[in-house]
Structure 1
């Protein structure tokens, strides 16, 4: 009997969860989760309603705002495209998205790698400096950016707008990629150093490919933000246009020529629908990349 008791494993009692913690968990489950689902359902409803309204006539928009169109008016998209001159706006927005996205990755990835893998006296202060850039309101940058770009003769050029979007996107990009590089094992760098690889070679050929999920997630997030860029484009561009400026000028024109609300909805759909399709295509990868990045 004594030997049997001695052979039994000694299990420590499970720690008791305080009542305050249990109540907070219950609050999150019964309040926060339904609220998040409600917001998600509302957003989906707005996108569907926008698409359905873009296929109606203007009279149907007011007579049956939540009903289906009697006959889909696909020509609304053609009218919106031609009237708002979306061709130039889409081209400039695509140029802005791809060039600023690639430039942000080329600048932020090496900076994030250095901040996460190398330690020196000012490494912590430098990381905080990049993080502080996330809290600067964009409205406070309009006047100094306009003056600086005017001195460089970059006002009313896509080059100036690309530089601004790249610079404003770097703080978040560095903060986002730092977590990915910090999670990589240091044994990879040690093995590369033993093989005679230089630090730049180790970064470009070994470490950077391992963070491709984070790079892809960051590029898509930057593309979503820059696709509908309006504030900086409105300040810096005069003769040129982006897709959001084309829609804005189209709305101002229709105020004097009679508002065709179904055509306006079609113009908004031209901006929104590509982003929805992009998310449906890469939604799982985006969620996985964001979760892995912030989880590390």
Structure 2
């Protein structure tokens, strides 16, 4: 954190020490009834669902080390040896290796672009005094409710026009660029909605203190607001990356070259190949390859998601 942000935050740290108002406190009887109902009904259901999903994923990992016959004859027996031939087959025959690189290239760059644009838009929409701010925010909210399937055909026609123009002007165009543009366009509404609410929950006194110190709007945003909005930015980054990592339809429609497939599309092709060769162990290995990276990211940064969502609901 920069010197400016440290000075500004030190001036406004006293705001966090104010006692909670009586209206913010819930009655003790209401809290006890809610806790008791939640603890006896909802909490066991959540734990059961979580345990079922964990056991299901562990079972998939177990099957990824078996051959085709053992999967059906001994589905719940531990394998005698750890054999990574299925993973090698999935990476080579199913081209999951190139799909993994393409997914990282497209999804990470699209996610960084979405979060960067959403942070700028969220700061502007949450602090502007113009009447147009509310309708613009509503437009982003409406964009969240429009399914991609409903606008896929016009988007495809538009991207075909753009690619044809680029071919005629520069003689080159990559299908992954089309997917990147569509990912940014479809992922931006949710990120803007999330970050605008988070920036709105931040105290305005911090920006006023930065202005008194002589900081301009850009420096205030980069040095003060971004460090304070780190939990919300991390939350938007993880949720956007999760959605793009598992996306299949857009990549399947726009990418025709097998060397440029993303992981979900490569897994779909692997399923078509393995069902004829009966190498179901390779298919399970492909599922693990697709699922494990994003699962690790969620386990490492999952607490940040909860923190960002709760802090962003302050106002």
Conserved? CA contact 2:111–2:184, under 8 Å: yes
Equivalent residues in 2 for 1:92-131, closer than 5 Å: 92-131=102-141
Higher alpha-carbon deviation: 165-174 or 70-79: 70-79
1:38 aligns with 2:48: yes
Partner of 2:209: 191
SS at match of 1:130: helix
Q: Distance in 1 between matches of 2:98 and 2:36?
A: 52
Quote the offset at 1:290 in angstroms: 2.7
1:171 aligns with 2:189: yes
For 1:168-221, what per-residue CA distance to the aligned partner results, in whole angstroms no more than 9, with x for missing partners? 111110111123211222112112222332222221222122212221221122
SS at match of 1:294: coil
Quote the offset at 1:71 in angstroms: 1.8
Partner of 2:273: 253
Conserved? CA contact 1:57–1:73, under 8 Å: no
Conserved? CA contact 2:274–2:282, under 8 Å: no
Quote the offset at 1:34 in angstroms: 2.0
Choose the corresponding residue for 2:262, options 242, 259, 262: 242
**Unaligned runs of at least 5 residues, structure 2:** 1-25, 165-172
Quote the offset at 1:293 in angstroms: 2.4
Quote the offset at 1:130 in angstroms: 1.2
Quote the offset at 1:228 in angstroms: 2.3
For 1:29-67, what per-residue CA distance to the aligned partner results, in whole angstroms no more than 9, with x for missing partners? 432222222211111111111111101122111112122
Q: Distance in 2 between matches of 1:285 and 1:237?
A: 33
Residues 145, 91 of structure 1: alpha-carbon distance in 2 compared, 3 angstrom cutoff:
same
Residues 47, 294 of structure 1: alpha-carbon distance in 2 compared, 3 angstrom cutoff:
farther
1:202 aligns with 2:220: yes
**Aligned-pair Cα RMSD in Å:** 2.3
| TM-score in terms of structure 1 length | 0.87
1:275 aligns with 2:275: no
Partner of 2:85: 75
Residues 22, 217 of structure 1: alpha-carbon distance in 2 compared, 3 angstrom cutoff:
closer
Quote the offset at 1:113 in angstroms: 0.7
Larger Rg: 1
| TM-score in terms of structure 2 length | 0.82
Partner of 1:161: 179
Partner of 2:167: none
Partner of 2:22: none
Conserved? CA contact 2:247–2:264, under 8 Å: yes
Higher alpha-carbon deviation: 140-149 or 220-229: 220-229
Tell me the number of residue pairs that the alignment of Structure 1 and Structure 2 aligns.
280
For 1:48-100, what per-residue CA distance to the aligned partner results, in whole angstroms no more than 9, with x for missing partners? 11111101122111112122112222221111111111222111100112210
SS at match of 1:71: coil
Partner of 1:49: 59
